[in-house]
Amino acid sequence: MLNMKPFLPILTACAMAVAALSLPAGPALASPIPDYPFAHVNGSSYRVEMPDIASLDFQVVAEGTDPAAARATIDARMAEVRELMQRLSIDVEEMQVREVRQGLRKQPAADGQAVYELSCDVKINLRNVANWPALAGGLLGKPNLDSFAADFDLSTMNKVTDEMVAEAVVDARHQAEVMATAAGRRLGPAMAMTSDAIKKLGTNLGLERDEFRGERRQARRPANQSAAEIDRDVFIMVQALKLRQSVDMVYRLENAAPARARKAK
């Protein structure tokens, strides 16, 4: 039996074209495809850039039967974080701390007392990525710090994005020219174009990479990673950014110029 699966996209496009031709013309009814010969292409640009800024997210957690003692533990750990930042000449204003959340653990203590769980989310923006190894290495492994996640970025990302969009458009036009020439047509002007958001290949959160996951854990956690699951040597490395930018373009196809008659010898 003939396998029709590879032909489904072509058949679908043909069906859409036939349906469009059967519909009445008029300004109130837009055609799903252009009413002129066209070429639809996707262009892309790819770069590897070293980041110059970063951010580190983690949680400060404490639990116990005495919520005041657990809160004191969180305050002590936050004081240590601020001390580390000051030693590295990182402005403490670059740290964002959410309010402490308090809840009850489902499992009580052995003596039956309620166990309180306290936590707060912390985010540190790093304007100088050179401080990353010392900051990340200084915090990883500290008691009561968990759920680490890293994000590297460029302070010039807007400029890089503009350049990559232009490169992707050039790539798209090149593909359209090749297609038009092969079909015996002349490439006309661009009639429509859209660009996707720039993508960091792999993932934005460094700790979502496979290198950061513990080999003992088979299930993939969608949340940030526990400190015990992180490879310290990989975690303190500044990760290169692999960037991809793509654009969709629609070009009008014109009739090819007629060939000039050769002069008789």
pLDDT, tens digit, 9 for 90 and up, residues 213-233: 333 333 333 345 666 678 888
Least-confidence region, from 52-56, 66-70, 192-196, 201-205: 201-205
- Measure the CA–CA gap between 5 and 11, rounded to whole angstroms: 10
Secondary structure class of 102 (helix, strand, coil): strand
Looking at residue 215, its pLDDT comes to 36
pLDDT value at residue 229: 76
* Alpha carbon distance 143, 141 (integer Å): 6
Is the pTM higher than 0.85? The answer reads no
Cα-to-chain-centroid distance, residue 180: 34
Helix then strand count (H, E) for the chain reads 5, 9
DSSP-assigned letter for residue 129: G
CA dihedral 121, 105, 62, 125 (to 10 degrees): -10
Choice among 10-19, 52-61, 97-106, 243-252 with the minimum mean pLDDT: 10-19
Instruction: List Cβ neighbours of 121 (8 Å cut-off, separation of 6 or more).
Output: 57, 58, 59, 97, 98
Q: Is the Cβ–Cβ distance between 238 and 132 less than 8 Å?
A: yes
User: CA–CA separation, 247 vs 29, rounded Å?
Assistant: 27
Which domains occur in the chain, in start order? Answer: 37-52+154-255 (3.30.110.170), 54-153 (3.30.70.2970)
Average pLDDT, the chain: 81
**Regarding predicted confidence, which is higher, 119 or 202?**
119
